[in-house]
Structure 1
Amino acid sequence: MPPFENILVDANRQRARGRLYVICQLVGFTLLFFAQLFFAHFFKNPDTGYGSLSFTDVLTQFHSVFVGLIVTHFSRRYIDAWGWKEHGWLKLLPRMVAMAIAMAVVWTILAQGWYFGVMRHEFPENILPPLLFLIGILNSSFITMGWLSVYFIYHVFDRFNRSEIARLRLAAVVKEAELRALKSQVNPHFIFNSLNSVRALIDEDPQRARSAVTQLANMLRYSLQSGSNQTVPFEDELTVVNDYLALEQVRHEERLRLKLDIAPGTLRRVLPPMLLQTLVENAVKYGISTRASGGEVSIAARIENHDLLIEVRNPGHLSERRDRVNSESTGLGLRNALDRLQLLCGDDATIDLRQTGADEVTATVVVPQSNVDLASPRLKAEPRATLKPALSER
């Protein structure tokens, strides 16, 4: 997410927290007002246990609650200014107790001062004024301690959520940087190999060389267009592989053959750009280029457990050191393909390279669709050269 958008999101979140605070204050102290009215009504007449409340009684309770609202609000401003919300519980607890008592003292002074001083009510005969003051502080302390507890518990969870959001933002930035770094390694990887094929044609067959340049231009265009996309439709990957194999046929002639077994439901599924091309390039490099007789590259795709499963087969043998995708002998392309795939789709995404026959190697790719953008836009279609009959579809 761009920095400016982060600022807007943080500002909106700050306003939402402010609105929530106001709502909680009004609702909480309104409930406290009605609770105090109930108890004042119940204890109005000690003999009967209930009694009617005068307007003065209601006004007194309203004043007491209003004072509590003001005291807690201004206490919040000091708490924010002193940075207490960032403290841990061990450091915060003694401060909470001291703050609760201080708030209760101020609340009691203002409430009883108004009741006995301004309203000129008489002190109860059966209780001394200092004791009445201490009782008021004790009662108010329970309320202020409860208020502080709710306030700090909310901010503990809010701080945890903010740290989690910051961690996710950082992870997204790191992920994007890693993807860009891997893409910058993949693009030159196939470009240089393709240029070698075009160079071999310049003197031998200029007409085919021009066609090969067109095919290479299509690949470069696709690489540039897909560079800004995290995923592309599988159909677009098949199209660029068509151009790549047409270029490779320049070198290998009839030694390179192709079979396709593509389930129709796979064409609109998505995968990282250049993933299929990397697999096919690896198959040609290790299965066709090293054999005088060449061989057949087979591409199959189907949906399995809602995921896109791709199999690329080529003739050849794997040594024990090539049994794993991340071994040094498989080259930069497959390692980058696996890294990009897992960065986008998670650890459920796999690339498995195995010996599946006496003279057959299969690269199997599982692309989970639940963690990727299924609505990835189609790239702009360009005219494609038709493959020679030797590259036929099953």
Structure 2
Amino acid sequence: MGTSVFNWLSEKLASQRYQYWALQYSGWGGYTLLTFIGGFFWVENHWLYTGYIAVATASGIAISEVMRRGFQRLWDRPAASRLVGSLFVVILAAAVWAAIKFGGSLWLYGRESDEHPVVLAVYWFSYSFLIYMTWAALYYGIKYYQASQLEQEKALKAESIAHQSQLKMLRYQLNPHFLFNTLNAISTLVLDQDGKTANTMVTRLSQFLRHSLDNDPMQKVTLAKEVEALELYLDIEKVRFVDRLQVNVDLEGDAPKGLVPSLLLQPLVENAIKYGISQREWGGEINIRARVFAGELLIEVSDNGPGVPPEALAGLGSGSGVGIRNTCERLRALYGEEQKTRFCNLPGGGLAVNLRIPFEQDA
């Protein structure tokens, strides 16, 4: 019961209309209470005084509602027009309310007063003007705050859409890049009149592309599933290399549960095959290792090929290679400064690519 009432109240207060009336009643309720306490102990007829306050409050609420409608019409005007128009509305509202309260005061206390009527009129107008200027300042302050929040939400939404579009673009770039390389290999097999092997590669290629297209490019997958997807790609390459390609996978501890961007490993392995394994007549091996350390997922993809010249290591992540550059850009877009990509030559020969990203799991 208590939870349902709380949820209902939260939903109502989320509406700007209910927020306005909640503030309206709260503000005027505070005015009524302070006015009542301020005169309760020195007025003689409390019933008349209570009636006077009720009329003053009711008229104050009604006039402020008319003011709000006037401010709404002025909202889209230029700043100078809005300022002058709002000031005129406040002056007019204060004059009307002052007349109502002044008349009520005469009815309540009579005409006995040492003050000049002009002085009394200035007093009641000044008092009413101060109240309505405060109301107008709060109204516009809240209005400008809401407009600022709305613009900020629009900016964040636009930034989010642009970010997602960038990630989708980077992710979809992998398919044409990989497809070109594979079709080139199939073309070579056809020219060599190796139709059976070419047909096998086409079948494996269709399976891999179906898998990549069926998966949401914005959805992260576990490292275990990423390795399963990688096996589809490796099935294609093993048709070409037969027993010249060996792949070793070692996922320690909670590493298989870690979430990674889809098709993260494929371009790294493809790069290792193209520049490492294919350069050696007897082939070679690729090692994929992953572990969790200090809240981070550490992934290494290495080969035992010739490696790269030391002067070329620094430019690997931003060079002309589509796969490696694409992977680095995707990680930067997803994780910002919380990720790190490092390339290094191994002492025994070959290149190692080390990735460090935050360790995340499915909720």
Q: Does 1:193 align with 2:192?
A: no
Contact 1:318–1:354 under 8 Å retained in 2 = no
Residues 115-126 of structure 1: pairs in structure 2 closer than 5 A: 115-116=105-106, 119=107, 122-126=110-114
Alignment counterpart, residue 54 of structure 1, candidates 23, 46, 53: 46
Residues 322-337 of structure 1: pairs in structure 2 closer than 5 A: 322-329=313-320, 331-337=321-327
Contact 2:71–2:86 under 8 Å retained in 1 = no
The residue identity in structure 2 corresponding to 1:253 is: V
Distance 1:100 1:325 in 2: 67
The residue identity in structure 2 corresponding to 1:41 is: F
The residue identity in structure 2 corresponding to 1:59 is: G
The residue identity in structure 2 corresponding to 1:110 is: I
- Give the gaps of 5 or more residues in structure 1: 1-11, 45-51, 376-394
Contact 1:280–1:312 under 8 Å retained in 2 = yes
Shift of residue 239, structure 1, vs aligned partner: 1.6
Q: Does 1:266 align with 2:255?
A: yes
Residues 28-47 of structure 1: pairs in structure 2 closer than 5 A: 28-44=27-43
The residue identity in structure 2 corresponding to 1:230 is: Q
Contact 2:74–2:85 under 8 Å retained in 1 = no
* TM-score, structure 1 normalization: 0.79
Distance 1:271 1:102 in 2: 64
Distance 1:325 1:124 in 2: 94
Distance 2:161 2:237 in 1: 37
Alignment counterpart, residue 102 of structure 1, candidates 84, 92, 106: 92
Residues 188-267 of structure 1: pairs in structure 2 closer than 5 A: 188-201=176-189, 206-267=195-256
Residue 310 of structure 1: aligned partner: 299
Q: After superposition, what is the alpha-carbon deviation per residue over 1:268-290, rounded to whole angstroms, capped at 9, x for unaligned?
A: 32222211101111111111122
Q: Does 1:320 align with 2:308?
A: no
Same amino acid, percent of matched pairs: 27
Contact 2:244–2:284 under 8 Å retained in 1 = yes
Distance 2:189 2:125 in 1: 96
* TM-score, structure 2 normalization: 0.85
Shift of residue 309, structure 1, vs aligned partner: 1.9
SS of aligned partner of 1:326? helix
Q: Does 1:366 align with 2:352?
A: no
Shift of residue 338, structure 1, vs aligned partner: 1.9
Q: How many residues are paired up?
A: 350
Shift of residue 101, structure 1, vs aligned partner: 3.4
Contact 2:244–2:282 under 8 Å retained in 1 = yes
Distance 1:23 1:223, change over 3 A: same
Residue 347 of structure 2: aligned partner: 357
Distance 2:163 2:112 in 1: 71
Contact 1:323–1:354 under 8 Å retained in 2 = no
SS of aligned partner of 1:354? strand
Distance 1:85 1:15 in 2: 28
Residue 380 of structure 1: aligned partner: none
Distance 2:200 2:270 in 1: 20
Residues 284-303 of structure 1: pairs in structure 2 closer than 5 A: 284-303=273-292
The residue identity in structure 1 corresponding to 2:265 is: L
SS of aligned partner of 1:357? coil
Structure that is richer in helix per residue: 2
Q: After superposition, what is the alpha-carbon deviation per residue over 1:87-140, rounded to whole angstroms, capped at 9, x for unaligned?
A: 5xx997776655443332121012223553xx4752232112221111111112
SS of aligned partner of 1:167? helix
Shift of residue 333, structure 1, vs aligned partner: 1.3
- Give the gaps of 5 or more residues in structure 2: 1-10
SS of aligned partner of 1:75? helix
Distance 2:83 2:91 in 1: 13
Contact 1:182–1:336 under 8 Å retained in 2 = yes
Contact 1:324–1:353 under 8 Å retained in 2 = no
Alignment counterpart, residue 168 of structure 1, candidates 156, 168, 192: 156
Distance 1:37 1:120, change over 3 A: closer
Residue 341 of structure 1: aligned partner: 331
Q: After superposition, what is the alpha-carbon deviation per residue over 1:20-57, rounded to whole angstroms, capped at 9, x for unaligned?
A: 0001111211121111111111343xxxxxxx543111
Residue 137 of structure 1: aligned partner: 125
Larger mean CA deviation between 65-74 and 313-322 belongs to 313-322
CA RMSD of aligned residues (A): 2.9
SS of aligned partner of 1:125? coil
Shift of residue 207, structure 1, vs aligned partner: 4.8
